[in-house]
Amino acid sequence: MIITIGREFGSGGKYIGEKLAEELNMKLYDAELIQRVSKERNIDINLLNENDEKHKKSFWYTLAMASMSMSDSVNSLTELPSDDKYFIEQAKIIEEIADEGNAIIIGRCSNVILKERKNVFNIFVYSSNEKFKIDRKVEFAGLDAKKALKLMHKKDKERATYYNYYTNQIWGARDSYDLLVDSSKLGIENTVKLLKEYVKCFVNR
């Protein structure tokens, strides 16, 4: 089984994924995914981190232009910008992870990359309470409230742009996930409990 978790910045999605992985005895891939791409594809990890869940234009347009401009003897992927190549290599690693066994994957469009597979459960964690997200970043990241708010808006915009760019779908839209959960309603620990029970129902359906 694979669980994918999309998340708003400050919603606790990463921590929820970590706790859920512990509770369900599953491997977790977040930064670990980037490290694996770097090691197995021989790509500088600094370049991967610079492009991690960040992008600005249309992947599908870029891919189409590359395909139109290539000759029959040239692989279209060679015409793609580097960050698009990084995404493709990352997608391949996500597929490999899904082949290997139970895992939780944080973000990186994994819900769409694995959409044709069975036994993939897609979760999106958000918070309707902005102060809840700010307070978490103040407490756990040591930011002041103004910096936390600014970073929250920046990160969520980057994640949305990246997701929309590579999937041609809308980040956080309900039709892209099996469950959307507001972590500020129950709190982080109770959200973990809720998801653990929900996943069990999903497995046993």
**pLDDT tens figures, 150-192:** 999 999 999 998 999 889 899 999 999 999 999 999 999 999 9
Kindly report the pTM of this predicted structure. 0.87
Query: Euclidean distance between the first and final Cα of the chain, in Å?
Result: 13
190-193 CB contacts, 8 Å cutoff, 24+ apart: 191/12, 191/16, 191/125, 192/16, 192/19, 192/20, 192/23
Q: Could you report the per-residue pLDDT of 87-125, keeping only the tens digit for each?
A: 999 999 999 999 999 999 999 999 999 999 989 999 999
Architecture of domain 2-203: 3-Layer(aba) Sandwich (3.40)
For residue 117 the two structure tokens come to 């597979």
- Most confidently predicted of 4-13, 36-45, 69-78: 4-13
Angle at 155 between CA 151 and CA 158, to 5 degrees: 140
Split at pLDDT 50, 70, 90, the class of 65 is very low
Structural domain boundaries of the chain?
2-203
Q: Please report the pLDDT score of residue 69 as a whole number.
A: 45
Q: Please report the pLDDT score of residue 133 as a whole number.
A: 97
Q: Are 66 and 76 in contact (CB under 8 A)?
A: yes
Lowest mean pLDDT among 13-27, 47-61, 126-140, 182-196: 47-61
Q: Please report the pLDDT score of residue 30 as a whole number.
A: 96
Q: Please report the pLDDT score of residue 66 as a whole number.
A: 52
Q: Give Cβ neighbours of residue 115 (< 8 Å, ≥ 6 apart).
A: none
